[in-house]
């Protein structure tokens, strides 16, 4: 299965993502794990709370 994008575009997107994660880690490290779990792993808020061992907000 392909994404329909050229390998260079995919590599560039991955590089941009890694750069953004590094910046987030440097400035707001507590947001990295929730963001990855939500935007990359596609977990819902309940699953993220369970995974991180934090209470789910009502």
pLDDT in tens, 8-51: 666 678 888 889 899 999 999 999 999 999 988 999 999 999 99
In this model, does residue 58 exceed pLDDT 90?
A: no
- Quote the pLDDT of residue 22: 93
Task: Indicate the pTM of the whole model.
Answer: 0.67
Closest CA to 34 of 17, 16, 47, 20: 47
Query: In the structure encoding, which two tokens stand for residue 4, read together?
Result: 């329909």
- Quote the pLDDT of residue 26: 95
Measure the CA–CA gap between 9 and 21, rounded to whole angstroms: 18
- Quote the pLDDT of residue 14: 82
- Quote the pLDDT of residue 7: 64
Query: In the structure encoding, which two tokens stand for residue 12, read together?
Result: 């560039």
């Amino acid at each position: 299965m392909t994404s329909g994008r050229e390998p260079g575009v995919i590599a560039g997107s991955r590089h941009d993502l890694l750069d953004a994660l590094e910046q987030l880690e440097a400035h707001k490290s507590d947001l990295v794990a929730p963001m990855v779990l939500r935007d990359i792993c596609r977990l819902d808020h309940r699953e993220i709370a369970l995974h991180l061992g934090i209470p789910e907000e009502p």
